[in-house]
């Protein structure tokens, strides 16, 4: 197994009428709340290129130093606060988490 960051990937979808609010909230509220956890090293958001009914429109990649750190994050007060805020902001719905998964590296190639 290669050394490297553990990735937690979240795939989300939201209706067109919620996109502006969703992206502003995700970038300016949700990520800053989660990023208060010192063990989270990097967050990158992606948007789907083109259109697809089979793929989620948005991906967020959260990077942690180790599985232990990622597991600690799930039990942290920072995570609890972010979930509480999210439930308050989106109590009537507004976006869906399509899937989530965590990955560890096997091997890395670089130029």
d(CA 5, CA 79): 19
Q: Which residues contact 94 (CB under 8 A, 6 or more apart)?
A: 14, 15, 18, 21, 22
Q: What is the mean pLDDT of residues 23-50?
A: 96
Looking at residue 35, the DSSP 8-state letter turns out to be T
Q: Record the pTM.
A: 0.89
Domains of the chain: 6-103 (3.30.70.100)
Q: What is the mean pLDDT of residues 48-69?
A: 93
């Amino acid at each position: 197994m290669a050394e490297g960051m553990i990735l937690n990937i979240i795939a989300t979808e939201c209706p067109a009428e919620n996109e502006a609010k969703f992206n502003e909230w995700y970038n300016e509220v949700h990520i800053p709340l989660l990023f208060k956890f010192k063990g989270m090293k990097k967050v990158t958001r992606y948007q789907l290129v083109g259109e697809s009914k089979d793929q989620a429109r948005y991906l967020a990649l959260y990077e942690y130093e180790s599985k232990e750190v990622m597991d600690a994050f799930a039990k942290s007060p920072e995570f609890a606060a972010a979930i509480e805020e999210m439930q308050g902001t989106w109590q009537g719905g507004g976006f869906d988490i399509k899937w989530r998964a965590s990955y560890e590296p096997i091997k890395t190639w670089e130029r």
